Amino acid sequence: MWIRSAGERDLTQIQSLLVETWHDTYDGLYGVEKVDAITADWHAVPKLKERLNRPQSEFVVADNGEAILGVAFASTKDGRAVHLHQLYVRPAAQGQGVGAALLAEIEDCFPEARLFRLEVEPENGKAVGFYQRSGFKEVGKTENCGTADSGVPALIFEKAIR
């Protein structure tokens, strides 16, 4: 497996990975219908495509030569504080180091960064455990994860580095 930048040819596979992983992770919390609605909006190929040329951002995938196993996307405004918007590993590939490899790559991609920040669903114990294990600490809460009116609650986690 290697970690590389996402390209246009990957977008359909990234979309299906996100839809599959979102249903696996959130159906039990939000219900299938809400997950369908969110994922149809946030993970549409044109939205994913906008990220490819976004300045001060990194969009990376874990690729084993046969399939994309995971995806991560992060961006910064000032180079110092980096927001990790997405880190998703296909259910069948979880627990095998893919998430850790993607997170390490994202951290390496922003050499000036002093702080990494992300939002995580409080009931998503798998992700909360992973981030705590990776050195993140809870610093606050939001009621609208992702977009201003999403109605999706989240904990805000941060990790200071360097």
Ligand X SMILES: CC(C)(COP(=O)(O)OP(=O)(O)OC[C@H]1O[C@@H](n2cnc3c(N)ncnc32)[C@H](O)[C@@H]1OP(=O)(O)O)[C@@H](O)C(=O)NCCC(=O)NCCS
Query: Which parts of this chain interact with ligand X (CB under 6 A)?
Result: 21, 25, 87-89, 94-100, 120, 124, 126-127, 129-130, 133
Compare residues 52 and 123 and give the one whose CB is closer to ligand X.
123
Alpha-carbon span 18 to 90, nearest angstrom: 8
H helix intervals, the chain: 11-30, 32-42, 45-50, 98-109, 125-133
In the complex, the smallest distance separating the C-beta of residue 26 from ligand X, rounded to whole angstroms, is: 8
Compare residues 3 and 98 and give the one whose CB is closer to ligand X.
98
CB 94 within 8 A of CB 116: no
In the complex, the smallest distance separating the C-beta of residue 124 from ligand X, rounded to whole angstroms, is: 5
In the complex, the smallest distance separating the C-beta of residue 111 from ligand X, rounded to whole angstroms, is: 22
